[in-house]
């Protein structure tokens, strides 16, 4: 038999073996069985927030929340460059986990350590990472309930573009039909550090930190503020790309984990599938 014929036979055998081999197992729990995922509640020193997305870095699994969730001042203390914060290592309860996570990164702490002077960053960089205890990593799935995704970090979102979010503050009294949210971008703010958005229903206290997807399933931001004026009922959504860039530039290498479920911009389906 010629060498070329042997090569073809060897290739055929390899392809046949590959076809019979089982598919690689996912590193995450199935989406319909996971108890830790975007949109679950987190509790830091009794204060309630909503997790945005799942992240990985340095061999660790993280869930994101707002930096102000671990703030020690008044609700009006929103300047992360001078507001007080609980220290890194603070326990954080994660709904669906058997053990508390730990506060592993806070943009407020990072900005104060750096001596940040950018006014927009100080006011709008509102991002924290909670390390999931290794005992609970197998309970994690990165997909947004109902909507699926994210499919990566999203880009610019012009005015009137669609966005989607998932979260259920305890102030909604457990009405899961209100968990999926759809809305529109009103404007970009803070020289790109934030977006002003309207959603139905609007974000309320307890929704802080929840994640937002654009119309393609890209993760674009995290809920930072609930506005009463000048646009009552609107929310400020910090830009996730900038928040992640800041974390990476300041000693916390981390990246967003894409969802295992395909993204669908269907809020009615999200209510049925995620609620």
For residue 29, what is the DSSP state? -
Residue 70: helix, strand or coil by DSSP?
Answer: helix
pLDDT digits (tens, 9 = 90+) for 126-141: 999 999 999 999 999 9
Place of tokens 């990246």: 255
* Residue pair 50/223 in contact by the 8 Å Cβ criterion: yes
Burial-class residue 216 by CB neighbours within 10 Å (0-12, 13-18, 19+): middle
DSSP-H helix ranges across 31-180? 107-114, 119-124
User: Which pLDDT value is given to residue 2?
Assistant: 45
What token pair was written down for 55?
């992240």
pLDDT 10s digits, 110-121 = 999 999 999 999
Compute the distance between CA of residue 64 and CA of residue 94 in angstroms, rounded to an integer. Answer: 11
User: Tell me, what's the pLDDT at 27?
Assistant: 84
271 pLDDT above the threshold of 70: no
Does residue 17 fall inside a structural domain?
no
In a domain, residue 175? The reply is: yes
* Whether pLDDT at 19 is above 70: no
Question: Tens of pLDDT along 22-75?
Answer: 333 468 999 999 999 999 999 999 899 999 999 999 999 999 999 999 999 887
| Count: domains in the chain | 1
Pick the closest to residue 261 from 32, 24, 27 (CA basis).
32
> What is the DSSP track for 208-270?
TT-EEEETTS-EEEEEEEE--SSSTT-EEEEEHHHHHHHHHHTT---EEPPPSS-----HHHH
CA 168 to chain CA centroid, Å, is 14
The phi-psi region of residue 132 (left if phi > 0; otherwise alpha if psi is between -120 and 50; otherwise beta) is beta
pLDDT band, very low/low/confident/very high, at 226 (cuts 50, 70, 90):
confident
In a domain, residue 14? The reply is: no
> What pLDDT, on the 0 to 100 scale, is given for residue 275?
44
Residue 263: name the closest of 151, 182, 144, 148 by CA. Answer: 148
pLDDT digits (tens, 9 = 90+) for 64-111: 999 999 999 887 888 999 999 999 999 999 999 999 999 999 999 999
136 within domain boundaries: yes
Checking if the pLDDT of 9 tops 80, the result is no
Residue at 181 is within a domain: yes
The pLDDT value recorded for residue 127 is 98
Task: Return the CATH number at 106.
Answer: 2.40.10.120
Both ends of the chain: CA-CA distance in Å? 63
pLDDT tens digits, 138-189: 999 999 998 999 999 999 889 999 999 987 766 555 555 557 889 999 999 9
Enumerate the β-bridge partners of residue 163. 183, 214
> What pLDDT sits at residue 7?
42
Residue 76 lies in a domain: yes
Mean pLDDT to the nearest integer, 252-262? 97
- Quick count: other Cβ atoms within 10 Å of Cβ 98? 11
Structural domain contains residue 21: no
pLDDT value at 8 more than 70: no
| β-bridge partners, 156 | none
Residue 16 within any structural domain of the chain? no
Find the domain containing 208 and state its range.
Answer: 41-274
| Distant-in-sequence, close-in-space partners of 200: CB < 8 Å, separation ≥ 6 | 181, 182, 183
């Amino acid at each position: 038999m010629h060498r070329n014929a042997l090569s073809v036979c060897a290739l055929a055998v390899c392809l046949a073996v590959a076809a019979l081999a089982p598919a690689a197992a996912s590193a995450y729990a199935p989406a319909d069985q996971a108890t830790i995922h975007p949109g679950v509640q987190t509790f830091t020193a009794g204060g309630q927030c909503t997790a945005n997305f799942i992240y990985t870095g340095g061999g660790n699994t993280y869930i994101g929340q707002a930096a102000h969730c671990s703030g020690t001042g008044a609700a009006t203390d929103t300047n992360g460059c001078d507001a007080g914060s609980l220290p890194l290592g603070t326990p954080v309860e994660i709904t669906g986990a058997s053990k508390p996570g730990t506060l592993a990164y806070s943009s407020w702490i990072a900005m104060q350590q750096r001596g940040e002077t950018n006014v927009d960053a100080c006011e709008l960089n509102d991002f924290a990472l909670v390390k999931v205890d290794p005992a609970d990593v197998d309970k994690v799935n990165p997909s947004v309930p109902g909507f699926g995704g994210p499919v990566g970090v999203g880009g610019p979102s012009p005015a009137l573009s669609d966005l989607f979010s998932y979260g259920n503050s305890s102030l909604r009294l457990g009405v899961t039909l209100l968990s999926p949210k759809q809305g529109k971008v009103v404007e970009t703010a803070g020289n790109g550090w934030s977006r002003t958005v309207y959603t139905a229903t609007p974000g309320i206290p307890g929704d802080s930190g929840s994640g937002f997807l654009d119309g393609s399933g890209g993760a674009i931001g995290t809920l930072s503020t609930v506005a009463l004026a000048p646009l009552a009922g609107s929310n400020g959504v910090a830009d996730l790309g900038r928040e992640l860039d800041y974390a990476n530039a300041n000693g916390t290498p981390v990246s967003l984990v894409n969802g295992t479920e395909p993204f669908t911009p269907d809020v009615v389906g999200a209510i049925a599938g995620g609620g």
